[in-house]
A and B are shown apart, each in its own frame.
Chain A
Amino acid sequence: MTTSPLVPLVMGHNAFFGVDHLSAQRGAARAASFADPIRILDVIRDGRALGAQGMMMSTHDRAAGLCDLIRSDAALSADLKVYPLLPYAQKYVTRANEVGMVNVVLDSLKGTSFSDKMSLFLQGSRGVLARDVNSVLGALIRLELKPFRGLQMPAVFLHDAFTDLALGLGLKDIFEFYMSELDRAHGAVGAFATKNLPMLLERFDAWGLPTPTVMTHFNKIGFHMNPSREDCEAAAAKYPAHIMAMGTLASGFLRPEEAYGYLGGVKGIESVVVGVSSRAHAEQTFAAIRTHMPVMTGNTVGAV
């Protein structure tokens, strides 16, 4: 198995951007409390001090401001691992409703670098879009990753809706391209978020693709685990993969003790991403992870 791009404990981004899978209302309230990016930075510093070495971050419009703040903090920018999650789908969907999917892509590319633009547009953008889907995708990825330049970025996750769409359609080529493009152009591992872990790992195995890095739901009640919790556990144990568990608290449904008591018994998990909304919250959650997942967290988390 390849070396892992994952650190054991990763802070989630949802609370900062108003995403709450259990309650839309609570999500909106949280986002309001994080309207000032300095408040987000405070929580990230606390989380780092408490032992989280990484941060998951969607390519939300507000990510750029947050990245600037991280860059401005010498300690954080030197050692905080940032894991972007792209694309921020909501942004594209809203615009696609107005101008159609093809135009969203073309409009977005207007914001790409001069060289991208030259190579894409000299040949007629519509023609290129059809003939060379990969260079268009490459340009879109560069665009999405622009705010993260200069930060430590070991892996970049593809949003689950896109991973799972490509998975459903059996587009091996998209997986290959995404991994090679991230490696070639960004020096990062092309990683995948999914809600269908067993199918993804089976396909990677059958297609002969390299060991995947995956972010997927793992929790005691099987929330967002398909086709079943048991199948996900079996797949994680069977196939080589670098797995980051998300949704471990089932959107706040489970208490940390209960959640990590379960997760500690699941084979094949290298990393946990968990939302932090305050120092006290982070302390409690990380303590439960440390207690129940000593092998995974080893001395990295304990050593702070």
Chain B
Amino acid sequence: MINVAVIGFGKLGLLHAGTVSGLAGSRLAVAVDSNKTLLNALKAKMEGTRIYTRHEPLLKDGGIDAAFIATPTGTHVDIALDCVEQGIPIFIEKPLALSGEQARPLVEALEKRPVANMVGYMGRYLDTFAKAKEIVDSGVLGPLEMLRCSMYIGQLFKAGKGWRYDKGVSGGGVLITQNSHVIDKLVWMFGDVDWVSGQTNSLYSTEVEDHAHVFFAFRNGLRGFMDASWSERHYRTPTIAIHVQGRNGTLDVDDDSVRLFLDAKSDAYAEGWSEWRKPDLYRSVPFDIGGPQYTLQAEEFLTAVRGGPNPASDVRSAYAVQCVIDAAYMSAERNGAPIRIAEVMA
């Protein structure tokens, strides 16, 4: 039985707690949250779960096999470092940190003392994106040439409140919060980014950007742009769409479907249009709370905790995402001047 601590018992913390408890072979052993009201309410409902207001005394007391860190972004790294020091496997919600610079000590600590680690870019487990990745990896599109993608959600139409709009705690606006999912997907599907040019705009917020537009040049030659806003009307839920064109065809993927066009048939795919819709690709999971992607993600992490392979969505890859985001912010400050990722990482 894997005894899990969930640190930060907000929306995502609850989801992870419910998921690990619902899966066979793992259980919620400890809940940590700095909000006492929330904790007391939990205490009344969840006998048998140890409760703490800080993670340090928990780490001293021990008795846990893995930690899920789902606190506000700016606090992830310090908590994770304390866990790594105790040799406790860590799952960290995305984005990993406020910046690449803040994340770097964690990357280094894990190099010295490797423990199972994962960052919560659960979008990789959405069936449509997993299929798109499979198609890209197969090489049928030929050399990749042009990219356009977007992430829209209509959540902010007046100045926002809470930690998400406080740059010191969130790291920035839409680019680093919801849109870090897109950048993770791009790096996952298309590999390392060479340089970016970015523009950002604040519509309703004062400290952070509500709209971001970034041009990417990947090392593999692919080039194109991404547009992201959390103040886009008509979008009830976060909606990601990626379009990529290669020498031999095109690929369109969003949450609902994957559409492939090929000039000629290949071993695995037909000539012309092919389409896969969400129900085509659906895979049942042992237990689902907020979508199968969260379950698949938790299963892969728990497998690593049991000694299996470390998930691909690890701290190292999330650090690379962070550096792309840093470069985009840096470029936006210089009115779109190109910034090399290697420069940010150095």
- A residues within 8 Å of B by Cβ? 18-19, 21-25, 27-28, 90, 93-94, 96-102, 126, 129-131, 133, 161, 164-171, 173-174, 195-196, 199, 221-229, 250-251, 253
* A24 in contact with B44 given A222-B282, A251-B279 (CB within 8 Å): no
Task: Assess the B282–A27 pair: CB atoms within 8 A.
Answer: no
User: What's the minimum C-beta distance from A141 to chain B, rounded to whole angstroms?
Assistant: 16
* A130 in contact with B44 given A18-B236, A98-B160, A101-B10 (CB within 8 Å): yes
* A-chain residues with CB within 8 Å of residue B257 when the two chains form the complex: 23
Task: Pick the 7 closest A-B CB pairs, nearest first.
Answer: A130-B40, A168-B22, A168-B18, A253-B279, A98-B162, A98-B161, A165-B18
Residue from A173, A199, A225 in contact with B45 in the complex, judged by beta carbons closer than 8 Å: A173
Task: Assess the B161–A99 pair: CB atoms within 8 A.
Answer: yes
Task: Assess the B21–A226 pair: CB atoms within 8 A.
Answer: no
Task: Assess the B236–A90 pair: CB atoms within 8 A.
Answer: yes
Nearest opposing residue in chain B for A222, CB measure: B284
User: What's the minimum C-beta distance from A106 to chain B, rounded to whole angstroms?
Assistant: 9
In the bound assembly, the distance between CA atoms of A224 and B292 in angstroms comes to: 9
User: What's the minimum C-beta distance from A182 to chain B, rounded to whole angstroms?
Assistant: 19
Task: Assess the B256–A24 pair: CB atoms within 8 A.
Answer: yes
Residue B290 at the A interface, CB < 8 A? Answer: yes
Residue B84 at the A interface, CB < 8 A? Answer: no
User: What's the minimum C-beta distance from A108 to chain B, rounded to whole angstroms?
Assistant: 15
Residue from A23, A101, A133 in contact with B256 in the complex, judged by beta carbons closer than 8 Å: A23
Residue B235 at the A interface, CB < 8 A? Answer: yes
The B274-315 residues at the A interface (CB cut-off 8 A) are 277-280, 282, 284-290, 292
Summed over the interface, the residue pairs from A and B with CB atoms below 8 Å come to a total of: 130
User: What's the minimum C-beta distance from B189 to chain A, rounded to whole angstroms?
Assistant: 21
- How many residues of B are in contact with the other chain, CB < 8 A? 49
Task: Assess the B236–A28 pair: CB atoms within 8 A.
Answer: yes
* A-chain residues with CB within 8 Å of residue B279 when the two chains form the complex: 22, 221, 223, 250-251, 253
Task: Assess the B277–A97 pair: CB atoms within 8 A.
Answer: no
20 more A-B residue pairs beyond the given contacts A131-B44, A224-B282, with a C-beta to C-beta distance below 8 A: A22-B279, A24-B236, A24-B239, A28-B234, A28-B236, A94-B155, A97-B155, A98-B165, A100-B162, A130-B37, A130-B41, A161-B290, A164-B18, A167-B18, A168-B21, A196-B22, A222-B282, A227-B286, A227-B287, A251-B278
Task: Assess the B45–A24 pair: CB atoms within 8 A.
Answer: no
* B-chain residues with CB within 8 Å of residue A196 when the two chains form the complex: 22, 287-288
Task: Assess the B286–A226 pair: CB atoms within 8 A.
Answer: yes
Task: Assess the B40–A131 pair: CB atoms within 8 A.
Answer: yes
In the bound assembly, the distance between CA atoms of A96 and B162 in angstroms comes to: 9
* A-chain residues with CB within 8 Å of residue B41 when the two chains form the complex: 129-130, 133
**A to B CB contacts below 8 Å, 28 in the list:** A19-B236, A22-B279, A24-B239, A24-B256, A28-B234, A90-B236, A93-B11, A94-B155, A98-B165, A101-B10, A102-B37, A129-B40, A130-B41, A130-B44, A133-B44, A164-B22, A164-B289, A165-B18, A167-B22, A169-B18, A195-B289, A199-B22, A222-B282, A224-B282, A226-B285, A226-B287, A229-B284, A251-B279
Task: Assess the B289–A24 pair: CB atoms within 8 A.
Answer: no
In the bound assembly, the distance between CA atoms of A25 and B257 in angstroms comes to: 12
In the bound assembly, the distance between CA atoms of A251 and B255 in angstroms comes to: 14
Task: Assess the A169–B162 pair: CB atoms within 8 A.
Answer: no
In the bound assembly, the distance between CA atoms of A19 and B17 in angstroms comes to: 27
* B-chain residues with CB within 8 Å of residue A22 when the two chains form the complex: 256, 277-279
Task: Assess the A24–B255 pair: CB atoms within 8 A.
Answer: yes
Residue B14 at the A interface, CB < 8 A? Answer: yes
